[in-house]
Amino acid sequence: MALILGILAVLSVGIGMAVGMFGGGGSILTTPMLVYIGGFDPKPAIAASAVLVAVTSLIGMIQYARAGQVRWRTGLIFGSAGVVGALLAGQVGQRLPGNLVLVLLGVMMVLTALAMIRGRKEMHAKHHDGLPLFRILLDGFVVGIATGLVGAGGGFLVVPALVLLGGIPMQAAVGTSLMVVMMKAIATFISYRLKFFGEDGFVSVNPETDFEWDVTLMVVAFAIVGVFLGVRAATRIHPDSLRTWFGWFVLIVGSFTLLDKSHAFTAIFDFARTSVLDLIVVIAFALALITAVVVLVMRSRKDKEEELPDEPEVVSDDPDLVEDPY
């Protein structure tokens, strides 16, 4: 048991560092860490993961706020939409089979890892006469759904959205992202711990998401140490190379999660046959997954096209070919 706690402590420091440096990313590893090493069931692991994400994001946000690197208004708008998405998706997630939730998490981990490995162009804040409110609300809602369903914070999606849509500089986007992730994590915890419109009434505590608080609080404590280290390292180390290595690690863990729970894919079809509503949920997720893959491929192609050098202008020495300006 001591060895397991030691491994959890070391990994928690690494997760906290990722949150502090990137504005997210580490939270996507918290659930599989608690499942495969801590011995948690999938749904309690998501609820416990939300506690870690909320606390570490709050600590990191305070550090960035002290440096004036949090945009409160934009973060509140984006985070409020994310809270709505997380509350709705959490109610769906807690009604799904546990192994199926892990499969969905594995898919999201692989997609996130590929995005991190592919990297991104240097982004610059764009000036807006006014905030594109609809786009910010839409992006926040979509990321909130991903967070509430599988417990992933979605920081890697929030940061570029804040830069491109909110016109926020990169460093401030990381700090603001921590605020957004914290809000969505709190909503995820509430949505997984409480069941609305259940058999026991309008609102009841979900016993399926009970978890070990002592282990969770220990993990949170070591993750807080990692956040302080990550915030300090973010000002001294360029995160791009670290992000690539971190992406490969997430890809390995995500692939293992998918392969380990591959038998759950048959449960998807069994779940879809349960009712019309369950069939709609499966179809909606499939469409969302296909859309995510298409967007990643199209962005990758667009980035490659933009990186191609412009064709040099051919200047001829033949005077007959020189256009007469008169």
Tell whether the model's pLDDT for residue 176 goes beyond 70.
Answer: yes
What integer pLDDT is reported at residue 23 of this predicted model?
64
Tokens of 199: 């058999």
Average pLDDT of the chain is 76
Query: Is 81 inside a domain boundary?
Result: yes
What is the Cα gyration radius of the chain?
22
CA distance 271 to 144: 23
Q: What mean pLDDT is predicted for residues 244-267? A: 72
**In which band, very low, low, confident or very high, does the pLDDT at 218 lie, cut at 50, 70 and 90?**
very high
Q: What mean pLDDT is predicted for residues 214-240? A: 82
What integer pLDDT is reported at residue 323 of this predicted model?
46
Name which residue leads in pLDDT, 284 or 319. 284
Query: Is 265 inside a domain boundary?
Result: no
The most confident of the ranges 5-14, 232-241, 295-304, 317-326 is: 5-14
What integer pLDDT is reported at residue 163 of this predicted model?
76
What integer pLDDT is reported at residue 273 of this predicted model?
73
Question: Tens digit of pLDDT for each residue in 57-86?
Answer: 888 889 889 888 888 888 898 889 888 888
Question: Tens digit of pLDDT for each residue in 8-57?
Answer: 898 888 888 887 777 666 667 888 888 888 888 888 888 888 888 888 88
**In which band, very low, low, confident or very high, does the pLDDT at 321 lie, cut at 50, 70 and 90?**
very low
The set of residues, in sequence order, having a beta carbon less than 8 Å from that of 127 and lying 6+ positions away, is 167
The torsion angles phi and psi of 314, rounded to 5 degrees, stand at -85, 120
Place of tokens 């969905």: 104
What is this structure's pTM?
Answer: 0.73
**In which band, very low, low, confident or very high, does the pLDDT at 313 lie, cut at 50, 70 and 90?**
very low
Tell whether the model's pLDDT for residue 282 goes beyond 90.
Answer: no
For residue 318, the one-letter residue type is: D
Specify the 3-state DSSP secondary structure of 112: helix
Q: What mean pLDDT is predicted for residues 191-199? A: 78
H or E segment to which residue 196 belongs: strand 194-198
Tell whether the model's pLDDT for residue 95 goes beyond 50.
Answer: yes
Query: What domain range is 197 assigned to?
Result: 2-257
Query: Is 164 inside a domain boundary?
Result: yes
Query: Is 303 inside a domain boundary?
Result: no
What integer pLDDT is reported at residue 221 of this predicted model?
93
Query: Is 194 inside a domain boundary?
Result: yes
Tokens of 271: 């779940």
- Residue 18's nearest CA partner among 27, 10, 9 is 27
Query: Is 325 inside a domain boundary?
Result: no
What integer pLDDT is reported at residue 222 of this predicted model?
93
The set of residues, in sequence order, having a beta carbon less than 8 Å from that of 175 and lying 6+ positions away, is 23, 60, 61, 64, 65, 67, 69, 70, 71
Residue 201 forms beta bridges with which residues? 198
Query: Is 193 inside a domain boundary?
Result: yes
H or E segment to which residue 120 belongs: none
Query: Is 287 inside a domain boundary?
Result: no
The total of structural domains in the chain comes to 1
**In which band, very low, low, confident or very high, does the pLDDT at 325 lie, cut at 50, 70 and 90?**
very low
Direct distance between the N- and C-terminal alpha carbons of the chain, in angstroms, rounded to an integer: 88
The torsion angles phi and psi of 67, rounded to 5 degrees, stand at -95, 5
The region of weakest confidence among 180-184, 293-297, 303-307 is 303-307
**Half-sphere exposure of 292 toward its Cβ, with a 13 Å CA cutoff?**
20
Q: What mean pLDDT is predicted for residues 121-130? A: 53
Specify the 3-state DSSP secondary structure of 279: helix
- Residue 196's nearest CA partner among 88, 284, 54, 99 is 88
Tokens of 281: 């949920």
